[in-house]
Structure formats: C-alpha cells, structure tokens
C-alpha cells in the first residue's frame, strides 16, 4: 500500500498516511486535528538488489541510471 504525505492548511504539519491508490478517504492533521489537509508531492526511493555473491545491494555503477 502506498504511503502519501498530506500538509495541513491550518498549521503546516506534514503527516504520512498509508492508503490504497485512488482512495477518497478523509484525513485529519495529526497535530491540530484540522480536516483541511492537501496531498503533497513527495519523492520516493527504490532499491535494486544485486544477485552477486557478496549480498550487497548496489545502485548504478556510473551514478546515472538510464530508464531503459
């Protein structure tokens, strides 16, 4: 289930909620209880594991991974 971030329009607190994609569930601010929250764009990370014998997860060796 994806993790989404919401910012409270009243106090500015950013809260995280687990929800199904496309859910219309109403959220409330975890700090002040306001229902005036908006979904914010957030970054995500992904980790690709190497199947090498070392067992160490690695990223692209060049530091720039093509999308293909």
Per DSSP, 59 falls in state -
The pLDDT-based confidence of 13 (bands split at 50, 70, 90) is very high
Q: Is residue 58 part of a domain?
A: no
Q: Is residue 36 part of a domain?
A: yes
Q: Is residue 8 part of a domain?
A: yes
Ranked by mean pLDDT, the top range of 19-23, 29-33, 61-65 is: 29-33
**What is the domain count for the chain?**
1
**Residue range 34-66, pLDDT digits in tens:** 999 999 987 776 777 765 544 445 566 666 666
Cβ-Cβ contacts under 8 Å for 10 (sequence gap 6 or more): 29, 32, 34, 36
Q: Is residue 68 part of a domain?
A: no
Q: Is residue 4 part of a domain?
A: yes
Q: Is residue 1 part of a domain?
A: yes
> How far is the C-alpha of 30 from the C-alpha of 58, rounded, in Å?
36
0.85 exceeded by pTM: no
Q: Is residue 60 part of a domain?
A: no
Q: 9 lies in which domain range?
A: 1-21+32-44
């Amino acid at each position: 289930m994806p993790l989404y971030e919401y910012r409270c329009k009243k106090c500015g607190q950013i809260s995280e909620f687990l929800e199904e994609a496309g859910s219309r569930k109403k959220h409330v601010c975890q700090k002040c209880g306001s229902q005036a929250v908006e979904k914010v764009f957030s970054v995500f990370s992904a980790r690709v594991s190497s199947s090498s014998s070392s067992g160490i997860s690695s990223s692209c060796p060049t530091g720039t991974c093509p999308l293909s």
